[in-house]
Amino acid sequence: RKEVEQDPGPFNVPEGATVAFNCTYSNSASQSFFWYRQDCRKEPKLLMSVYSSGNEDGRFTAQLNRASQYISLLIRDSKLSDSATYLCVVTPSGSARQLTFGSGTQLTVLP
Amino acid sequence: DVKVTQSSRYLVKRTGEKVFLECVQDMDHENMFWYRQDPGLGLRLIYFSYDVKMKEKGDIPEGYSVSREKKERFSLILESASTNQTSMYLCASSLYLREGRYEQYFGPGTRLTVT
């Protein structure tokens, strides 16, 4: 079983739609959680950290459910520029400096 | 702005060649990482380094070695390139955020093809 699992998609949604991605992780002792965004042929960049209480950044909301070991990302009012691959990222226990990446969920927002 | 640079965007090498991939960061970060990214497999950690002359194996170190002689530079070496090492190679360095969290900054990647 992969340490971090995501639905690869692709998710094709119209502009203005709300879309949600889920991610599950296998190590219950994982410490920190993130969503990264990777545009086509570009490097990954941090989108947002995920905190236990849930957190919001504009149109983006991230949630963590430790009991069920999943993380979610909600994008409201999708824009064309949101088209990218979204990577779920987990810090394994014992080493906050390392990251374990999911293989990503591809989103295409259609005009 | 943090800047992580990699020596080449595209590289084509022959089987058996020794390959050097260079990575430089300009923000005095202690931690540096080498990943490879393949379709369906995501990013996989090859090696990382917490300090000069210090290195640790990641998840897939076989066939690779690294060198960190200066804080800003982390090199990945393929001793004898093979076709299954054709991949996108991404270097990263990390910055401490808060509450035990580190943000990783990535270089633009090197797409290596081994023929």
- Identity of residue B79: E
- A2 versus B29: which is more confidently predicted? B29
Q: What is the pLDDT of residue B99?
A: 73
Q: What is the pLDDT of residue A93?
A: 67
> Which residues, including other chains, have CB under 8 Å from residue B50's CB and lie 6 or more apart?
A97, B30, B31, B56
Q: What is the pLDDT of residue A88?
A: 95
Q: What is the pLDDT of residue A5?
A: 93
pLDDT digits (tens, 9 = 90+) for B50-92: 999 999 999 999 999 999 999 999 999 999 999 999 999 999 9
Whether the Cβ atoms of residue B64 and residue A65 lie closer than 8 Å to each other: no
Looking at chain B, which residue has its C-alpha nearest residue A92? B101
Nearest to B43 among A8, A91, A101 (CB): A101
Looking at chain B, which residue has its C-alpha nearest residue A102? B42
Q: What is the pLDDT of residue B74?
A: 97
- pLDDT string in tens for chain A (111-residue length): 678 999 888 999 999 999 999 999 998 888 889 999 999 989 999 999 898 888 999 999 999 999 999 999 999 999 999 999 999 999 876 666 788 999 999 999 999
Q: Do A32 and B100 touch (CB under 8 A)?
A: yes
Average pLDDT, integer, range B28-32: 91
For residue B29, give both structure tokens: 């970060």
Q: Do A45 and B107 touch (CB under 8 A)?
A: no
- A61 versus B1: which is more confidently predicted? A61
Q: What is the pLDDT of residue A94?
A: 64
Q: What is the pLDDT of residue A52?
A: 84
Q: Do A101 and B94 touch (CB under 8 A)?
A: no
- Identity of residue B50: Y
Closest Cα of chain B to A111: distance in Å? 27
Q: What is the signed CA dihedral for A21, B95, B44, B113, rounded to 10 degrees?
A: 110
